[in-house]
Structure 1
Amino acid sequence: MGVMSQKPPLVSVVIPARNEGREIELCLRSLEGQSFQDFEVIVVDNGSTDETEAIARRYGCRVIHEARPGVSFARQRGFEEARGELVVSTDADTTLPPGWLELIVRSFEESPDQVGVYGKIRLRERRGFGQWLAEFLFAAFLRLNHLLGKPHFCGPNFAVRREAFNRAGGFKDKDKENGREGDRFYSVSEDLQLSLKLVREGRIRFHKDLVVYTSPRKLQGGSLRYMWEHTKNYWAVTWLGRSR
């Protein structure tokens, strides 16, 4: 995992991280156990002050530093540095089943016109009914919106063809300000924004068997509150065309 060679790997896995010393080792350990092995891991250190970088290097990852704070900048930088034909996104607080990368690669091999794939996100451990309900509703939310033609990438579990990602402009938004075309990074929902742009480049698949397990810490402020905030962002971006 993460060993540099003359031949580029087929897959690049990008992990943005800021002070993830307590979480990232579980993620990297699960990547070591993948059945598919032709891949590199790029950890984008977004200003960590803990042992995040040291742990990543211990596992043989490429470590890239991104000074601009924010996951949009970090993920974009990692995708730009990727050498693989396929670029896979996950998060430092997420663990991956052994066949995760193999499912992703097979999905692209089966569909030459496919430019992206994404799947389900489950909690590593559920604490109470609220977290169970949030997980259930989010899975239904992803599936429904895919059926409506509005695919919804989520940072811990999606993959794209690198060429299609570059054609779509990555996680950047093109704005005309003062008569000039300028790059602006999405400040919220950068993964969702990307999927809505990428669907113009080809087919995006929702893979029901592509599952990852993430930390429930995002729900610490309340499971239903998290779902409400996420849904508001989704409707603003998807149906109202707002990028902030």
Structure 2
Amino acid sequence: MSIGHVVVAIPVRDEAALLPGCLRAVAEATSVLQQENPVIVDVVVTLDGCTDGSEAIARAFGVTVVERASVGVGAARDSAVRAGLARCPADLDSVWIANTDADTQVPPTWLTTQLRWADAGHDVVVGTVEPVGIIDPTQLDAWHERHELAEDHSYVHGANLGIRASTYVALGGFPASRLHEDVRLVTRARGAGVPVVATDTTRVQTSGRSVGRVRGGYAGYLRTLRADEHDHPVAGLL
């Protein structure tokens, strides 16, 4: 079934420095999509215990804002999704959920490409992530040695994940965990026999910082790629 409504869900925790770039990129991707198709797009930001200027930035962009009290990334993602779905039509087969992060910039064709995969019969689109801004050349080389940005890749990133709304609800949504909520959702989808595509056609760029907002998250993984660190135990998923 063709998609007529898109919810873009973004969890935010003290991201005043990077959130403007994220929202500008999402706005451009929305514009590109709507030039081809009169799809309704709702961008929803969950402020997860923010104490900086993230709220003012989000409201200045005119997106929907949900406020939570430091619930963690899994619950924050789910809150953004549920707030968006509350304004969607009852037929959730025609609704698409596009997930990204506040420290990430999506390409102009991000939504257009996800919906093409959806129209081709896929219920989950697992995209790739490329870190930018890594200063340490050893760290950057180590990342490229461990990652092949290609079709049928083995990585899962909440910063670049699309899912049909009916499938999301049937699977129970993102778990309220503070780590690997994205991996757990995709694992459930595959276990249920849901059509999943892992693709590099929707590649996004995310911050290559080594100090992030979630202990053990992507920034923590990047820290392990320094010359004096060992491999991350779930490197194949990051």
TM-score range, shorter chain: 0.7 to 0.9
- Higher alpha-carbon deviation: 78-87 or 56-65: 78-87
Quote how far apart the aligned CAs of 1:233 are.
9.3
* 3-state SS in 1 of match to 2:113: helix
Distance 1:143 1:209 in 2: 8
May I ask how many residue pairs the two structures share in their alignment? 209
One-letter code aligned to 1:160: I
CA contact (8 A) 1:168 1:201 kept: no
* 3-state SS in 1 of match to 2:20: helix
CA contact (8 A) 2:123 2:195 kept: yes
Q: 1:230 to 1:17 in 2, by over 3 A?
A: farther
Residue 11 in structure 1 maps to residue 14 in structure 2: no
Quote how far apart the aligned CAs of 1:94 are.
0.5
Alignment match, 2:157:
154
Alignment match, 1:170:
173
Alignment match, 1:224:
225
CA contact (8 A) 2:96 2:165 kept: yes
1:121-136 mapped onto 2 (5 Å cutoff): 121-136=129-144
Alignment match, 1:240:
none
One-letter code aligned to 2:223: G
CA contact (8 A) 2:128 2:155 kept: no
- Higher alpha-carbon deviation: 73-82 or 225-234: 225-234
Q: 2:125 aligns with which of 113, 117, 125?
A: 117
Distance 2:66 2:146 in 1: 32
CA contact (8 A) 1:189 1:233 kept: no
* 3-state SS in 1 of match to 2:159: coil
Alignment match, 1:103:
113
Q: 1:73 aligns with which of 75, 78, 98?
A: 75
Q: 1:117 to 1:57 in 2, by over 3 A?
A: same
One-letter code aligned to 1:126: I
Quote how far apart the aligned CAs of 1:91 are.
0.5
Quote how far apart the aligned CAs of 1:103 are.
0.6
Distance 2:96 2:19 in 1: 22
Question: What does the per-residue CA deviation read over 1:80-113, in whole Å, with 9 as the maximum and x for residues that have no partner?
Answer: 22235111110001111111111111111122xx
Give TM-score scaled by structure 1 length: 0.76
Distance 2:180 2:67 in 1: 22
**RMSD of equivalent CA atoms:** 2.7
Quote how far apart the aligned CAs of 1:72 are.
1.1
Q: 1:55 aligns with which of 54, 57, 72?
A: 57
One-letter code aligned to 1:167: A
CA contact (8 A) 1:152 1:196 kept: no
- Higher alpha-carbon deviation: 200-209 or 56-65: 200-209
Distance 2:233 2:58 in 1: 30
One-letter code aligned to 1:36: L
Alignment match, 2:181:
190
Quote how far apart the aligned CAs of 1:118 are.
1.4
* 3-state SS in 2 of match to 1:122: strand
Give structure 1 regions of 4+ aligned residues with deviation exceeding 6 angstroms.
none
State, as a whole percentage, how many aligned pairs show the same letter.
Answer: 27
* 3-state SS in 2 of match to 1:197: helix
* 3-state SS in 1 of match to 2:123: strand
One-letter code aligned to 1:94: T
Alignment match, 2:33:
36
* 3-state SS in 2 of match to 1:196: helix
